[in-house]
Amino acid sequence: MRKLLTISSLVIALLSIGCKPPIPPPAAAILQLPADNTTCLDGLVTAEKSSINFSWFEAANTDSYLVVVQNEETRAMTQKTVEQNTQANLSLDRGFPYSWWVITSSIASSEQTKSAVNAFYLEGDQQLYFIPFPAKLIYPPNNSIVSRENGQIQLIWSGTDLDNDIEKFELFFGDTADQLNLITQGQTTTYFIDVETLSTYYWMVRTTDSQGNISESNISYFQTVN
Report the number of distinct structural domains present in the chain.
2
> 110 and 179: one domain?
no
| 27 close to 59: Cβ distance less than 8 angstroms | yes
Mean pLDDT, range 31-59, rounded to an integer:
87
Cα distance between residue 159 and residue 214, in whole Å: 12
The candidate with the shortest Cα–Cα distance to 108, out of 62, 59, 58, is 62
CATH of residue 60: 2.60.40.10
Res. 31: pLDDT tops 90: yes
Residues 6+ apart with CB under 8 A from 3: none
Mean pLDDT, range 30-43, rounded to an integer:
87
Cα distance between residue 138 and residue 11, in whole Å: 51
Domain enclosing residue 69, as ranges = 30-122
| 46 close to 83: Cβ distance less than 8 angstroms | no
DSSP H or E stretch at residue 218: none
> 140 and 112: one domain?
no
Domain assignment present for 10: no
Residue 179 C-alpha from the chain's centroid: 22
Tens digit of each residue's pLDDT (9 = 90 or more) over 200-212: 999 999 999 998 9
The C-alpha angle with vertex 106 and arms to 19 and 80, in degrees rounded to 5, equals 170
pLDDT for position 10: 52
> 176 and 204: one domain?
yes
Give me the residues paired with residue 92 across strands.
Answer: 50
Res. 184: pLDDT tops 60: yes
> 116 and 142: one domain?
no
Share of residues in the chain with pLDDT > 90 (%): 67
> 182 and 211: one domain?
yes
SS3 52: strand
* 122, 151, 168 - which closes a domain: 122
Tens digit of each residue's pLDDT (9 = 90 or more) over 140-174: 999 999 999 999 999 999 999 988 899 999 999 99
* 224 confidence band (pLDDT: 50, 70, 90): very high
| 220 close to 137: Cβ distance less than 8 angstroms | yes
pLDDT for position 1: 47
Domain assignment present for 17: no
Res. 72: pLDDT tops 70: yes
| 141 close to 221: Cβ distance less than 8 angstroms | no
pLDDT for position 2: 46
Global model pTM greater than 0.85: no
Res. 29: pLDDT tops 90: yes
Domain assignment present for 18: no
Share of residues in the chain with pLDDT > 70 (%): 88
> 147 and 96: one domain?
no
